[in-house]
Amino acid sequence: MYEVHIVATWMHIISAVYWIGAILFTLTVLGPVMRCQNTGIAIPIMSEVQGRVRGIVLVAIFIFIATGTFNMYYRGLMDTEVLFESSYGTIFLMKMLPVAVMFTIYFSAPYILKRRSPSSKGVCCEVEGGPKPVGKVFAILHIIALACGLLIVYLGVMLRG
């Protein structure tokens, strides 16, 4: 049981490193570089990069759910008394709020961006003459996701006691 907990926690942390790392890379490197390119080049590259990153993050989300559920069981959080009446349970529930925000952003971002500008293909770049800019919305969604990710890591580490 202890060994499974260690492996599960390791996979949980590696998934967090990947997701938060991908957000940081997008915000600080990929987005700014792509903003300086013309849309004919930027949109296909961004679509390809985003497609790959989102595919791997989807795997990470499955890993979070599987390993997180195992660790909930390992820490006794399946017991509603522990979940709702202990300080450990309270921190865990606080952690689940930014997790829900991060998951919601992941699944809704392409629709939000496409609704603003269908020809943006749901990725960051501004389309010349497009109806509404999407780059700013893309950046704001990533900044909110980053803030949630950093808060989740803080609360996750607090769970260790």
From the list 10, 107, 27, the residue with the least C-alpha distance to 64 is 10
CA distance 128 to 85: 55
**Nearest-approach distance from CB 85 to ligand HEM, in angstroms:** 17
Residue nearer to ligand HEM on the CB measure, 64 or 134: 64
**Which of 56, 157 has the CB closer to ligand HEM?**
157
By the criterion CB under 6 A, which residues form the site for ligand HEM?
9, 12-13, 16, 19-20, 64-65, 68-69, 71-72, 75, 92, 99, 102, 149, 152-153, 156-157, 159-160
Nearest to 145 by CA among 107, 116, 103: 103
Q: Is the Cβ of residue 47 or residue 86 nearer to ligand HEM in the bound state?
A: 86
Residues 83 and 76: their CA atoms lie apart, in Å, by 8
